[in-house]
Copies of this chain bind each other. A is one copy, B any other.
Amino acid sequence: MAAVSAKAFKKIDSAPLWDRVRSQIKHALLAGRFEPGETLTLRSLAEMFGTSVTPVRDAVNHLVAQGVLEAGPRNAAVVPDVATGTLREIMCVRTELEGRAAREAAYRSNLETVSSLRLQLETMRDLIHKRRLDSYLDVHRNFHFTVYSGAEIPLLYEMIENLWLRTGPILAYVIPDYVISLKGTDHHEKIVAAIEAGDGTTAEAEVVADIEEATNYLLTCSDDLGRIRRPLKTPL
């Protein structure tokens, strides 16, 4: 061990360039910083990141393989324009996967998971009261994935994460309105209660209801072509 304190140095990020590029694109997607339908060119992305085209090519390739980006004509990467049809498909698969995950989580119910969920529930209530919607979305996301992590089935977790990524581009600018419009029908509390009680059936039902409710709201935001669009009133 070196004599100097390890705390004096920042950890060097030795991850490959293309992996860091991939991570940044992913987060930009999740934050809704790309327009649905927009085609991303390798050279423009490369210039943004200050790298050559090789790492961006790898990153884009990876995301396309995951279904997070789509392969347009000429194999160009395009930001998925999630239409109502696609949204219904995603909802279908999500209800199956996340429902099962919640059920398994209830069967494997433990104190650590439940207390973590309760804490996040509290934070969510607080953030929604303070109208801090962006942080709310982060905690909300963490809440759900804490549940799915409780299933202790990595493959399930991985596939659910993939599905959330696919709705990323539209979620970011539609959900805030949905959160505000939420009255008292909050399934999150019931989910935690069911998991604590080890009641898999109820946990599954509540998660499914939560997904269907949110999806149905999204479906009302579609234009006459079936595409989900940013509500006009929201600035930026």
Kindly report which residue of chain B lies nearest to residue A59, judged by CB atoms.
B61
Q: List 19 A-B contacts (CB under 8 A).
A: A16-B75, A57-B58, A58-B58, A61-B61, A61-B62, A61-B65, A62-B64, A63-B65, A65-B66, A67-B158, A89-B153, A89-B154, A89-B155, A89-B156, A92-B153, A92-B156, A93-B100, A93-B156, A97-B97
User: CB of A90 within 8 A of chain B?
Assistant: yes
- Least distance between A115 CB and chain B CB atoms (Å): 26
Q: How many copies does the complex hold?
A: 2
User: CB of A201 within 8 A of chain B?
Assistant: no
Interface members, chain A 139-191 (any B CB < 8 Å): 153-156, 158-159
Known: A93-B97, A96-B96. A86 touches B16 (CB 8 A): no
Kindly report which residue of chain B lies nearest to residue A162, judged by CB atoms.
B159
Beyond known contacts A61-B61, A90-B155, A93-B153: 14 more, CB 8 A cutoff: A16-B75, A57-B58, A58-B58, A58-B61, A61-B65, A62-B65, A63-B65, A65-B66, A66-B66, A89-B154, A92-B104, A92-B155, A93-B155, A96-B100
